[in-house]
């Protein structure tokens, strides 16, 4: 049975994109890549260097000269030899990552890195632009869930990582991220042409993964 060489998974904040993408990659024996890690890594670097999220020129230059690399399984991202993965889900990064990701020059710099990964094939990529700009013929999936379910998932995730947050704080952030994602001028959050839309509110990761396999099996 044959499957597409590239799967592109997009969707709303905390809708289960990474969990589903990871499970799908394991099932198919594909590489898993969460392209959002690159934007989160850049946000982390901006915080470390005290660069404001509104300083577009500085952020574009940082995106151009900073070299990030992924582990073979796509689970870790490195800045030089340093694994910075554990820092990328912090509330501080969450607060500014959408603002940084909407900067056209930043996206252009990071698209080249993502395109090189996609061209290798046999990959499940989670993130924006994959199906529209990088691999137009990718198998496209758009995940969503209710705001209540997405807040619950993000809250559980952050607490498990040791962050001190409340559900109200998480809801405020998710709502703000939704607004930024939809309203940004460069690559706003939309359902790409040909994408299969899956509402994952009452579905397990396994159920969503099995549905994707069913939809795209040849």
Backbone angles phi, psi at 8, to 5 degrees: -115, 115
Whether 31 is in a domain gets the answer: yes
Tell me how far CA of residue 105 lies from CA of 6, 12, 97, 102, in angstroms: 25, 23, 15, 9
Phi/psi at 146 (5° precision): -65, 155
Over residues 121-162, the pLDDT tens digits come to 999 999 877 877 788 889 999 999 999 999 999 999 999 989
* 95 CB-near residues (< 8 Å, 6+ apart): 173
Structure pTM?
Answer: 0.86
Looking at the structure of the chain, the number of domains it has is 1
Residue-number span of the structural domain to which 185 is assigned: 6-216
Residue 1 within a domain = no
| CATH number reported for the structural domain that contains residue 71 in this entry | 3.40.50.300
pLDDT tens digits for 38-77?
A: 999 999 999 999 999 999 999 999 999 999 999 988 889 9
Q: What are phi and psi of 184, to 5 degrees?
A: -65, 145
Distance CA 136, CA 121 (A): 13
In tens, the pLDDT along 20-35 reads 999 999 999 999 999 9
Starting from the edge strand earliest in sequence, which strands make up the sheet with 82-83, in order? 68-70, 77-79, 82-83
Q: Render pLDDT for 91-116 as a digit per residue (tens, 0 to 9).
A: 899 889 989 998 999 999 998 889 88
């Amino acid at each position: 049975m044959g499957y597409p060489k590239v799967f592109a998974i997009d969707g709303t904040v905390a809708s289960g994109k990474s969990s589903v993408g990871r499970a799908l990659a394991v099932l198919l024996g594909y590489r898993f890549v969460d392209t959002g890690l690159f934007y989160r890594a850049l946000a982390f670097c901006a915080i470390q260097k005290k660069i404001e999220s509104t300083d577009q020129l500085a952020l574009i230059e940082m995106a151009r000269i900073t070299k990030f690399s992924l582990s073979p399984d796509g689970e870790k991202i490195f800045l030089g030899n340093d694994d910075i993965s554990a820092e990328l889900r912090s509330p501080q990064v969450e607060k500014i990552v959408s603002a940084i990701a909407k900067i056209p020059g930043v996206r252009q710099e990071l698209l080249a890195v993502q395109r090189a990964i996609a061209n290798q094939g046999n990959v499940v990529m989670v993130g924006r632009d994959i199906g529209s700009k990088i691999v137009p013929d990718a198998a496209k999936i758009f995940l969503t869930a209710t705001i209540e379910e997405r807040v619950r998932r993000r809250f559980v995730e952050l607490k498990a990582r040791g962050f001190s947050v409340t559900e109200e704080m998480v809801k405020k952030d998710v709502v703000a991220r939704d607004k930024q994602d939809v309203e940004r001028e460069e690559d706003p959050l939309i359902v790409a042409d040909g994408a299969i839309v899956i509402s994952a509110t009452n579905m397990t990761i396994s159920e969503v993964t099995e549905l994707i396999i069913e939809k795209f099996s040849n």
